[in-house]
Chain A
């Protein structure tokens, strides 16, 4: 069974078909990329998968469950984490605290238990902290754990955002342009981290502009153009696809 399956997904904004009849599957353990020129509907597609807004028609199945009507926080609690194109750090919180928020769906303390610091929350709190530190170490930024997250370099903020998403223990990780705003060294670094994350057994679906990154790390690529899927294959084949070359480089 595919981990994620999109079936004839449509999104219309007024007269504009932002996403038009897109279907594909993401198999467990894959790194799958969605590419396409600006305005191809990549982010719209992501927002429908994560529940930010509903599809006009069509459906999204995650682990065999229809996500229809589910809000983002409900989708997250099913085990789907995401990052944002323009990094959304929680400002006023340290890198570690940012990651600790990621443990939200894996912990339970509510208002009263937290206010009265019930003994059972002590262990939970310790576990949240330890697990979050481990993730910061995995992404090689543990020395910045106690730094205010927004004062970190952009590349480091990306790493914090990845750690925060991983803290949710997702089975599927959605990455919205993980290399946006990064220089070539930082992009290579993010590529290495994404491969590392896949090696942990987490399936990755990413939207990306940076061709070198996508070709390096993806197992499969979906190409969108004006909201429609025009190709879906392994990187080597996509690179040779005349239509893909045409939309990226223009016609001769």
Chain B
């Protein structure tokens, strides 16, 4: 109950922003707020992994892309040429397929968005298990490099596979009808409802993670972060808990990928890019690592400005710079900045400080 109350101010802010933008005739901001919400869903999942369980991943754009690409491909690539195959018949009888039309009026046999979403998220989870079992044995830099490698592989596969549209990506992804009258789509008339779908999903994700961190599992994860060895001695199966958190964060990323792809109506290889993964890591760091609220706030703010084009062509450079500055001046996140300790890091200040202490 306390957790539900704690997200209430956020809910008020979400509704408030809608009212504010409609009053000032700036509703176009809602589009970037919707996209920011989906990116932030990935980012809070990564926060659980990095900030709480203490395991870095520079490959989470990979899981986002796996979700987005699989959902996009399954809902756009027609299965008519294969309709006599056993597998297609099996999916059809399970109700996973439907006959649609492409923009030229040709009929298509494709997966329903719900089925595609399920398959996409499940695939991301299975890949997370397969990747996680070996790489989570690594620590620190080695884990960072291994996950970076995974991210690069996903990016290259997206870029090189005809089925995934190579450099063009996949477009004309249909709307994802969640319920009759409620669909994830980029069409102009659905802008307000999509804003609420995205933020509703983010709030649910946030609530689940807040619950998780304040529980037996959350304490065990923070324990692993504090001292792997001591957590082990307390009976925590550290390998299993790390893996489960990795999979959980991959699922968050994949869901974000699926929804944003349907919202945008397509996905391209840049979503799988390494710089995206670096950006997500930077935002978790700016948010304060083990701080879901800080991470959520920074996820929204930085993604919003990035999507508005505020950083221009220097977009990626800005995130690199943020990462450097945060590591130097505020390793506990931007909300923890202490002006005096920052001044101490400036050249020439160290000596004066030391003399002052003596």
- Assuming the contacts A84-B229, A88-B227, A92-B225, asked whether A114 and B215 have C-beta atoms less than 8 A apart, the reply is yes
Among residues of B, the one whose C-beta sits closest to the C-beta of A83 is: B233
The answer to whether A92 and B227 have CB atoms under 8 Å apart is no
Identify which of B227, B229, B235 contacts A104 (C-beta below 8 A).
B235
Among residues of A, the one whose C-beta sits closest to the C-beta of B210 is: A115
The answer to whether B235 and A168 have CB atoms under 8 Å apart is yes
Is there a chain B Cβ closer than 8 Å to A107's Cβ?
yes
Q: Roughly how many angstroms separate A101 CA and B224 CA in the complex, as a whole number?
A: 10
Chain A residues whose C-beta falls within 8 Å of the C-beta of B216 in the assembled complex:
103-104, 107-109, 114, 121, 124-125, 128
Residues of chain B touching chain A, judged by Cβ–Cβ distance below 8 Å, are: 3, 208-209, 211-212, 215-220, 222-223, 225-227, 229-238, 244, 248, 290
- Assuming the contacts A111-B244, A114-B211, A115-B209, asked whether A90 and B231 have C-beta atoms less than 8 A apart, the reply is yes
Residue among B222, B223, B238 having the largest count of chain A Cβ atoms under 10 Å: B223
Is there a chain B Cβ closer than 8 Å to A177's Cβ?
no
**Minimum C-beta distance from B134 to chain A (A):** 18
The answer to whether A92 and B235 have CB atoms under 8 Å apart is no
Q: Roughly how many angstroms separate A101 CA and B209 CA in the complex, as a whole number?
A: 18
Q: Using a CB-CB cutoff of 8 Å, which residues 152-182 of chain A contact chain B?
A: 164-165, 168
**Minimum C-beta distance from A48 to chain B (A):** 14
The answer to whether A90 and B215 have CB atoms under 8 Å apart is no
The answer to whether B222 and A72 have CB atoms under 8 Å apart is no
The answer to whether A111 and B219 have CB atoms under 8 Å apart is no
Q: Roughly how many angstroms separate A104 CA and B240 CA in the complex, as a whole number?
A: 14
Chain A residues whose C-beta falls within 8 Å of the C-beta of B248 in the assembled complex:
111
**Minimum C-beta distance from B241 to chain A (A):** 9
Chain A residues whose C-beta falls within 8 Å of the C-beta of B212 in the assembled complex:
111, 114-115
Among residues of A, the one whose C-beta sits closest to the C-beta of B3 is: A117
**Minimum C-beta distance from A171 to chain B (A):** 14
**Minimum C-beta distance from B325 to chain A (A):** 22
- Assuming the contacts A90-B226, A104-B235, asked whether A109 and B219 have C-beta atoms less than 8 A apart, the reply is no
Is there a chain B Cβ closer than 8 Å to A236's Cβ?
no
Q: Which of A3-11, A74-82, A193-201, A203-211 contacts B (4 or more CB under 8 A)?
A: A74-82
The answer to whether A76 and B235 have CB atoms under 8 Å apart is yes
The answer to whether B234 and A88 have CB atoms under 8 Å apart is no
The answer to whether B217 and A110 have CB atoms under 8 Å apart is yes
Identify which of A71, A89, A100, A102 contacts B227 (C-beta below 8 A).
A89
Per-position contact with B for A119-150: 1 when CB-CB < 8 Å, else 0?
A: 00100110010000000000000000000000
Among residues of B, the one whose C-beta sits closest to the C-beta of A82 is: B233
The answer to whether A90 and B222 have CB atoms under 8 Å apart is yes
Chain A residues whose C-beta falls within 8 Å of the C-beta of B227 in the assembled complex:
88-91
Contacts beyond the supplied A104-B234, A105-B235, A115-B208: 16 A-B pairs with Cβ under 8 Å: A72-B233, A73-B234, A76-B234, A84-B230, A88-B227, A90-B223, A90-B227, A93-B222, A98-B223, A100-B219, A109-B216, A111-B212, A111-B244, A111-B248, A115-B211, A168-B234
A-B contact pairs, 8 of them (CB 8 A): A73-B238, A76-B233, A84-B233, A90-B230, A91-B226, A109-B216, A128-B216, A165-B234
Among residues of A, the one whose C-beta sits closest to the C-beta of B52 is: A92
Q: Roughly how many angstroms separate A76 CA and B234 CA in the complex, as a whole number?
A: 6
Residue among A107, A110, A115, A168 having the largest count of chain B Cβ atoms under 10 Å: A115
**Minimum C-beta distance from B174 to chain A (A):** 31
Is there a chain B Cβ closer than 8 Å to A13's Cβ?
no
The answer to whether B222 and A164 have CB atoms under 8 Å apart is no
Among residues of A, the one whose C-beta sits closest to the C-beta of B218 is: A114
**Minimum C-beta distance from A38 to chain B (A):** 21
Is there a chain B Cβ closer than 8 Å to A116's Cβ?
yes
Is there a chain B Cβ closer than 8 Å to A228's Cβ?
no
The answer to whether B211 and A88 have CB atoms under 8 Å apart is no
Chain A residues whose C-beta falls within 8 Å of the C-beta of B3 in the assembled complex:
117
Among residues of B, the one whose C-beta sits closest to the C-beta of A167 is: B234
The answer to whether A92 and B234 have CB atoms under 8 Å apart is no
Among residues of B, the one whose C-beta sits closest to the C-beta of A93 is: B222
**Minimum C-beta distance from A120 to chain B (A):** 12
**Minimum C-beta distance from B245 to chain A (A):** 8
Is there a chain B Cβ closer than 8 Å to A30's Cβ?
no
Among residues of A, the one whose C-beta sits closest to the C-beta of B1 is: A117
Chain B residues whose C-beta falls within 8 Å of the C-beta of A103 in the assembled complex:
216
- Assuming the contacts A90-B231, A116-B211, A164-B234, asked whether A111 and B217 have C-beta atoms less than 8 A apart, the reply is yes
The 4 closest A-B pairs by CB, nearest first: A90-B226, A114-B215, A105-B235, A76-B235
Q: Roughly how many angstroms separate A109 CA and B214 CA in the complex, as a whole number?
A: 12
Is there a chain B Cβ closer than 8 Å to A50's Cβ?
yes
Is there a chain B Cβ closer than 8 Å to A97's Cβ?
yes
Chain A residues whose C-beta falls within 8 Å of the C-beta of B233 in the assembled complex:
50, 72-73, 76, 81-82, 84
Q: Roughly how many angstroms separate A107 CA and B215 CA in the complex, as a whole number?
A: 11
The answer to whether B222 and A92 have CB atoms under 8 Å apart is yes
Q: Using a CB-CB cutoff of 8 Å, which residues 27-68 of chain A contact chain B?
A: 50, 52
Q: Roughly how many angstroms separate A17 CA and B233 CA in the complex, as a whole number?
A: 25
**Minimum C-beta distance from A149 to chain B (A):** 9
Q: Roughly how many angstroms separate A207 CA and B215 CA in the complex, as a whole number?
A: 34
Residue among A76, A82, A121 having the largest count of chain B Cβ atoms under 10 Å: A76
- Assuming the contacts A73-B232, A111-B248, A168-B234, asked whether A92 and B211 have C-beta atoms less than 8 A apart, the reply is no
The answer to whether B219 and A97 have CB atoms under 8 Å apart is yes
**Minimum C-beta distance from A154 to chain B (A):** 16
Chain A residues whose C-beta falls within 8 Å of the C-beta of B232 in the assembled complex:
71-73, 76
Q: Roughly how many angstroms separate A100 CA and B220 CA in the complex, as a whole number?
A: 9
Among residues of A, the one whose C-beta sits closest to the C-beta of B51 is: A92
Chain B residues whose C-beta falls within 8 Å of the C-beta of A164 in the assembled complex:
234
